């Protein structure tokens, strides 16, 4: 990505050593090539201590004053954490502007072996940075913790059937610039839940991570990211999932699985993967400015009051956007446990300014459940395809269709005549392998609705002014602030 806007954690950015530049020939997992230049940066905040054994690390943690902060630097090497005796962080922590930072001397320079690494209980304001985790148990961040950051680490845990890599249950957790990779069995890379059976951790921020190579062959249970589970659907997580790259993540039809409410999923790239973005349970999630390129699936939606804007879904093997039918109209507090895992029919979802091109189908409503989607707004999208149907919601009620541009040999579908025009949008393929409107496109300034209350810029961060251009892109000479992510933009060695 040539031009980009990053949301960097000031703490984690300071707690890292970066590699400049990321040269061709670098190792597959993002480690720098032997000829790369390692530039050390200020390692967190003082006071500083240096350790070179697990016992020294334990002593350094024990000597810190709660709330005092400081930085512990672990010498590069491989360290065996004894079974049954993890590195205990119980009660440890800094404060919001002076965290306790535990970091490897260089990114990826410290490998922890054994069944468990750190124990996160009653800990707060801690940054863990630069480690390689290989343990054979799930990394658990307990709900008694707060403000834990894991930054620029590599997670390649034991490939054990049914074992998750990481489970976050604590508020204000930050998972940033990490690489989760290589799992072939049942189990997710990263889960977010909460205390008890219905609560969600709040304000979790997941950004600039690289998820790759999940090859579980089952049809459920191998998600790269899962925000909640069915009993937690109505809990407001307020998580932000942004600037993450997914490649070859084939362990589940859901690369980002949302089973909670009030989340934001934006600026992510899913490429050559079996999973898409699925709002499986919950309400009021915003899915904005994501790229899904040449994968199996696009975006599937259940629940109420979601906003789906500015997304690009290109050349996938399935229908691009699915509006779910339900076995219940709505979930509600206190409903029987055996009801909460049922599908909640879509209500009042806004699908606008998306570009959908070259998929097996365009926008479709489900018909195999009895309760149809209702009262959705589908406006000012570009739908281009040569197979399947471009737009059909045969059992939907109360829909608003307007301003959609349809093109290609695929059937139009059942949207009303006033809801679209059939005209060539004149898409051109750019250097990032994305089809976008070009000069002279009839999509320019053609939006039929005022979208200013819903979205201010396009998928690449260019400001939308006046009447918006139809689809995900705004044709303007302004510079792109975002582009489809590559491995140079994410993971431990990203700038």
Q: Which residues pair with 146 in a beta bridge?
A: 124, 171
SS3 category, 413: strand
Digit-coded pLDDT (tens) for 127-153: 999 999 999 999 999 999 999 999 999
Q: Is 466 helix (H, G, I), strand (E, B) or coil?
A: coil
Q: What is the pLDDT of residue 34?
A: 35
> Under DSSP, is residue 83 helix (H, G, I), strand (E, B) or coil?
coil
| The token pair that represents 265 in the structure block | 């999923």
Q: How buried is residue 227: exposed, middle or buried, by Cβ count under 10 Å (0-12/13-18/19+)? A: buried
Q: Pairing between strand 382-384 and 355-357?
A: parallel
The Cα-based distances of 120 to 86, 278, 434, 461 in angstroms read 10, 30, 42, 37
Dist. CA 212–CA 114, nearest whole Å? 23
Given its phi and psi angles, is residue 221 left (phi above 0), alpha (psi -120 to 50 degrees) or beta? left
Block means of pLDDT (10 residues each) for the chain, 495 residues, are 32 36 35 39 72 98 91 97 97 94 96 98 97 98 98 97 97 98 96 97 98 92 96 96 97 96 98 97 98 97 98 97 95 87 95 98 94 97 97 94 98 96 97 95 97 96 95 96 97 96
Q: What percent of the chain has pLDDT over 90?
A: 86
The reported pLDDT for the residue numbered 43 is 54
Torsion of CA 467, 468, 474, 480, to 10 degrees: 100
Q: Which pLDDT value is given to residue 47?
A: 86
Using alpha carbons only, give the angle 131, 137, 139 rounded to the nearest 5 degrees. 50
- 3-state SS class at 294: coil
β-sheet with 276-281: strand ranges across: 139-141, 166-168, 190-192, 225-227, 254-259, 276-281, 299-301, 319-323, 361-365, 389-392, 411-413
| 241-281: pLDDT as tens digits | 999 999 999 999 999 999 999 999 999 999 999 999 999 99
The pLDDT of residue 67: 84
Residue by residue, DSSP assigns 140-208 as EE-TT-EEEEEES-EE-----TT--SEEE-SBT-EEES-EEEEE-SS--SEEE--STTT----S-EEES
């Amino acid at each position: 990505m040539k031009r980009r806007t990053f949301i960097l954690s000031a703490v984690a950015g300071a707690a890292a050593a970066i590699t400049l530049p990321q040269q061709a020939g670098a190792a597959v997992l993002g480690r720098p090539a032997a000829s790369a230049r390692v530039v050390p940066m200020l390692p967190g905040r003082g006071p500083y201590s240096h350790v070179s054994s697990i016992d020294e690390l334990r002593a350094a943690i024990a000597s810190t004053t709660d709330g005092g902060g400081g930085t512990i630097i672990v010498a590069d090497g491989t360290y065996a954490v004894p079974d049954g005796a993890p590195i205990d962080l119980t009660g440890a922590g800094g404060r919001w502007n002076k965290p306790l930072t535990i970091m490897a001397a260089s990114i990826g320079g410290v490998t922890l072996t054994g069944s468990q690494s750190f124990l996160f209980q009653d800990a707060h304001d801690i940054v863990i940075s630069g480690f390689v985790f290989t343990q054979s148990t799930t990394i658990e961040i307990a709900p008694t913790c707060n403000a834990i950051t894991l930054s620029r680490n590599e997670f390649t845990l034991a490939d054990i059937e049914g074992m998750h890599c990481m489970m976050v249950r604590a508020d204000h957790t930050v998972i940033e610039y990490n690489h989760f990779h290589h799992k072939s069995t049942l189990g997710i890379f990263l889960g977010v839940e909460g205390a008890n059976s219905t609560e969600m951790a709040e304000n979790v921020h997941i950004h600039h991570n690289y998820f790759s190579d999940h090859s579980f062959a089952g049809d459920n249970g191998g998600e790269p990211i899962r925000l909640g589970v069915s009993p937690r659907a109505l809990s407001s997580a307020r998580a932000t999932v942004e600037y993450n790259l997914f490649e070859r993540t084939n362990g589940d039809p859901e690369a980002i699985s949302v089973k909670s409410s009030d989340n934001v999923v934006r600026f992510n790239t899913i490429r050559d993967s079996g999973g898409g973005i699925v709002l499986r349970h919950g309400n009021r999630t915003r899915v904005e400015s994501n790229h899904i390129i040449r994968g199996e699936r696009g975006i599937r939606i259940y629940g109420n009051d979601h906003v789906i804007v500015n997304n690009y879904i290109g050349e996938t093997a399935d229908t691009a956007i699915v509006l779910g039918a339900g076995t219940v109209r709505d979930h509600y507090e206190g409903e029987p446990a055996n009801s909460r895992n049922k599908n909640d029919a879509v209500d009042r979802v806004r699908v606008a300014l998306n570009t959908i091109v070259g998929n097996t189908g365009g926008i479709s409503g489900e018909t195999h459940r009895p309760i149809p989607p209702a009262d959705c707004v589908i406006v000012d999208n570009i739908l281009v395809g040569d197979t399947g149907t471009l737009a059909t919601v045969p059992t939907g009620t109360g829909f608003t269709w307007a301003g959609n541009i349809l093109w290609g040999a695929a059937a139009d579908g059942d949207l009303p005549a006033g809801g679209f025009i059939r005209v060539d949008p004149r898409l051109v393929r750019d250097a990032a392998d994305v089809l976008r409107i070009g000069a002279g496109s009839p999509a320019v300034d053609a939006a039929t609705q005022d979208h200013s209350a819903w979205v201010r810029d396009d998928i690449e961060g260019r400001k939308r002014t006046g009447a918006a251009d139809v689809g995900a892109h705004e044709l303007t000479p302004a510079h792109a602030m975002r582009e489809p992510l590559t491995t140079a933009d994410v993971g431990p060695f990203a700038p």
